[in-house]
């Protein structure tokens, strides 16, 4: 079976975990602080980095420290992992599903604009398949209507847009380090923000709202006499996770090279295949977490690949078609995109032979 995606773990990650275990300080401490510092250095940004235990927690914390709750609305593309929607509804706010553009598969700003009401508080653009082409228009819309922007950049760690790494600027940017994302810390995520008040609140809120507990833990101390003013959560990252993340961050150039190489090989082949089209991404700039094609007779191709022991996926069933997030309106572009998208194997350990087999099997289906 050729896998769709998987983690790539070397002896270095294993060694790093053993070192943390030997220290017998497993919770949040010095390794987490080091991981945050190294992410900030990698991105060369002034945005502060706060690591948490999942990407979903990162999104939930960002929205919750902004004070959103019942009655508030957050604009979000329907074509995303349900994590984006769950993070919004966890605060009590309502996710308002929007269209994506059929070419870029990124939030359709025109559609989003039409869904703004007096209750709209924020926009959550999603870096679908690591691409965020069109982000500028999102920030313009946000500025015009005084909305906060919480970027779901779960899939985009290491990707660039207009030459700049994602996460170097913006209002709030959230990453995921789950097992199959561009780098992993086992599970994990991070909130980055240019707003010091957001950073401070997220730091406290990840540790049950215990004020300045982050500073104490990074100094190897515990807080005994503390105050709590806000709702908090148990969302901090552990030293075990951070140790894995630090090693993975050190391997990111290698990961990027490999994933981009896989993408270029697919692109070269599908340029000559009229049944397959590719989204309009800046492929030389992104670090592709998933490789998505739009395929004629998608379901047939999907079954053919599976029958040939090749895993593939559909990212994603639009959220407005899920019972919890059903809307009173259709999103025809998104529904049309959903019918044709297919994700092909793309991970760091995919061999050239395996990729050739994927390519031949796709070609064979249309021959």
Is 263 a residue that touches ligand PLP (CB under 6 A)? no
Structure tokens at 219: 């100094």
Q: Which of 33, 64, 84, 239 binds ligand PLP (CB under 6 A)?
A: 84
CB of 367 to ligand PLP, least distance (A): 33
Q: Which range, of 40-48, 79-87, 272-280, 322-330, touches ligand PLP by CB under 6 A?
A: 79-87
Q: Which of 29, 55, 95, 170 binds ligand PLP (CB under 6 A)?
A: 55
Q: Which is nearer to ligand PLP, 191 or 310 (CB)?
A: 191
Is 340 a residue that touches ligand PLP (CB under 6 A)? no
Structure tokens at 199: 């950073």
Q: Which residue(s) pair with 172 in the sheet?
A: 150, 193
Q: Which of 28, 62, 149, 154 binds ligand PLP (CB under 6 A)?
A: 154
Q: Which residue(s) pair with 151 in the sheet?
A: 173
Q: Which of 83, 93, 183, 262 binds ligand PLP (CB under 6 A)?
A: 83
CB 232 within 8 A of CB 222: no
Helix (H), strand (E) at residue 292: strand 291-295
Q: Which range, of 65-73, 98-106, 152-160, 323-331, touches ligand PLP by CB under 6 A?
A: 152-160
Phi, psi at 60, each rounded to 5°: -65, -45
Q: Which is nearer to ligand PLP, 66 or 362 (CB)?
A: 66
When CB distances to ligand PLP are compared, the closest residue is 55
- d(CA 265, CA 185) in angstroms, rounded, equals 28
Q: Which residue(s) pair with 161 in the sheet?
A: 164
Helix (H), strand (E) at residue 75: strand 73-77
CB of 360 to ligand PLP, least distance (A): 29
Is 152 a residue that touches ligand PLP (CB under 6 A)? yes
Among 63, 52, 115, smallest CA distance to 87 is for: 63
Q: Which of 8, 9, 145, 178 binds ligand PLP (CB under 6 A)?
A: 178
366: left (phi > 0), else alpha (psi -120 to 50), else beta? Answer: alpha
CB 178 within 8 A of CB 47: no
Residues within the interface to ligand PLP (CB under 6 A): 54-56, 80-81, 83-84, 126, 152, 154-155, 176, 178, 189
């Amino acid at each position: 079976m050729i896998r769709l995606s998987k983690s790539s773990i070397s002896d270095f990650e294993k060694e790093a975990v053993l070192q943390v275990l030997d220290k017998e300080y497993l919770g949040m401490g010095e390794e987490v602080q080091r991981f945050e510092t190294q992410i900030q250095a990698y991105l060369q940004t002034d945005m502060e980095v706060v690591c948490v235990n999942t990407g979903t927690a990162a999104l939930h914390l960002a929205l919750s420290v902004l004070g959103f709750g019942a009655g508030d609305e957050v604009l979000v593309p329907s074509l995303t992992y349900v994590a984006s929607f769950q993070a919004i509804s966890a605060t009590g706010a309502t996710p308002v599903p929007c269209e994506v553009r059929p070419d870029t598969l990124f939030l359709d700003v025109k559609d989003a604009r039409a869904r703004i009401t007096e209750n709209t508080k924020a926009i959550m653009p999603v870096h679908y398949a690591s691409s965020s082409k069109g982000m500028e228009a999102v920030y313009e819309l946000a500025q015009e209507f005084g909305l906060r922007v919480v970027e779901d950049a779960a899939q985009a760690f290491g990707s660039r847009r207009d030459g700049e790494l994602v996460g170097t600027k913006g209002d709030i940017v959230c990453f995921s380090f789950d097992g199959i994302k561009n780098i992993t810390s086992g599970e994990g995520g991070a909130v980055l923000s240019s707003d010091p008040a957001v950073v401070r609140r997220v730091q406290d809120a990840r540790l049950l709202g215990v004020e300045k507990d982050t500073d104490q833990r990074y100094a190897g101390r515990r807080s005994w006499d503390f105050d709590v003013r806000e709702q908090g959560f148990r969302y901090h990252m552990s030293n075990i996770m951070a140790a894995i993340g630090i090693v993975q961050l050190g391997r990111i150039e290698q990961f990027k090279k490999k994933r981009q190489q896989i993408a270029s090989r697919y692109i070269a082949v599908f340029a000559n295949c009229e049944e397959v089209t590719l989204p309009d991404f800046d492929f030389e700039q992104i670090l592709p977490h998933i490789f998505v094609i739009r395929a004629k007779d998608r379901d047939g191709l999907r079954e053919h690949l599976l029958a040939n022991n090749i895993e593939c996926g559909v990212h994603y069933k639009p959220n407005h078609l899920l019972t919890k997030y059903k809307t009173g309106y259709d999103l025809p572009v998104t529904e049309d995109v959903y019918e044709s998208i297919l994700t092909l194997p793309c991970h760091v350990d995919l061999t050239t032979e395996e990729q050739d087999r994927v390519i031949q099997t796709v070609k064979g289906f249309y021959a």
